[in-house]
Amino acid sequence: MARRTSTQAQAPGLSGDGGAGRRSVVNHFLRSLRPEQWTKNLVVFAGLLFARELFNPVALGRTCTAFGAFCLLSGVVYVFNDIMDREADRQHPIKKSRPIASGAISPGLAGGGAAVLAAVALSVAFLMSWSFGLVAVSYLALQALYSGPLKHIVILDVLTIAIGFVLRAVAGAVAIDVPISHWLLVVTILLALFLGLSKRRHELVMLANGAIGHRPILGEYSPYLLDQMISVVTASTLVAYIFYCISPETSQKFGTDLLGLTIPFPLYGIFRYLYLVHQREGGGSPSQMLMNDRPLLVCVALWALAVVAIVYRPFGFGA
């Protein structure tokens, strides 16, 4: 009897054990969604916090749903970015290990999964309200434009990232149907620009001569130019937040003029971030820096606690 010697080709991420292979594919897909980056979507809670609705169960539930929808949408964006950038990512010392760039999961499979998640997230968004759904669609469309032409246009590439954060903040306010503060939008876009420019600087310095090969737009920047931009945005962010805290409008809204006591926290946080960027060669991933640097994490936590204590106490909470 002839002996059977044929072998079966296996898809990327699958092993001889079908169950283990499927689990491996799912794990690689979940990694491609980059859940460690979802902390950026916490901006959605800004509207809830400053609208004094934090202890309103209905508003809190809607904001948590909005947060979940934007986590899915941002994960979808990461997947499609990785699909489009997979060749360049293979030349990057860190990004080459990403599932799509490394070949652990195929672009077709990852794209199909991302499309399903996008449909789920947008369905949830429109079920919440048409206005929230339109903000979610605008966010997804903006990110699609960034993945296409906008990431190749100097300055607009970073501005597009910053506007993405603004749309998150707007989404949080729209989700609970509260007015959108112009202060919220100004501080959000300035802080997002600070983080985006710091990330560009990190990439430029870390990749050195290989920077242009990985991301062509980096050829339009230089460490000196980015340092100048970061200086302007740093000062603008701090001034905007300080004016917000001490303005009569803010004091009247919250019934207290004590919000100025929170100013040391963003001062320390931004200076700590600059220290990590310049002295520790950080800045590549703001989310990872926040979670891995204990002083920075403690600073953000103390700021949030201080804001809650000051903003909510005049209205009977925590008394």
| CATH (domain of 156) | 1.10.357.140
Domain membership of residue 95 (yes or no) is: yes
Q: Which of 180, 215, 247 is the last residue of a domain?
A: 180
Q: Are residues 197 and 277 in the same domain?
A: yes
Q: Which of 136, 158, 180 is the last residue of a domain?
A: 180
Q: Which amino acid is at 122?
A: L
Q: Are residues 157 and 87 in the same domain?
A: yes
Q: Which of 131, 227, 242 is nearest to 186 (CA)?
A: 242
Q: What is the domain range of residue 65?
A: 33-180
Query: Which pLDDT score, from 0 to 100, does residue 43 have?
Result: 94
Domain membership of residue 19 (yes or no) is: no
Query: Which pLDDT score, from 0 to 100, does residue 19 have?
Result: 60
Q: Which of 126, 148, 180 is the last residue of a domain?
A: 180
Contacts of 284 (CB under 8 A, 6+ apart): 94, 199, 202, 203, 206
Query: Which pLDDT score, from 0 to 100, does residue 20 have?
Result: 61
Residues of the chain short of pLDDT 70, as ranges, are 1-21, 207-214, 282-284, 314-319
Identify whether the C-beta of residue 36 lies closer than 8 Å to the C-beta of residue 117. Answer: no
Q: Classify burial at 87, counting beta carbons within 10 Å of its beta carbon; exposed 0-12, middle 13-18, buried 19 or more.
A: exposed
Ramachandran region, residue 181 (left: φ > 0; alpha: ψ -120 to 50; beta: rest): beta
**Whole-number percent of the chain with pLDDT over 70:** 88
Q: Are residues 172 and 222 in the same domain?
A: no
Q: Are residues 137 and 264 in the same domain?
A: no
> First CA to last CA across the chain, in angstroms?
87
What domain count does the chain have? 2
Query: Which pLDDT score, from 0 to 100, does residue 15 have?
Result: 44
Q: Are residues 158 and 237 in the same domain?
A: no
Identify whether the C-beta of residue 92 lies closer than 8 Å to the C-beta of residue 214. Answer: yes
Q: Are residues 206 and 309 in the same domain?
A: yes
Query: Which pLDDT score, from 0 to 100, does residue 214 have?
Result: 65
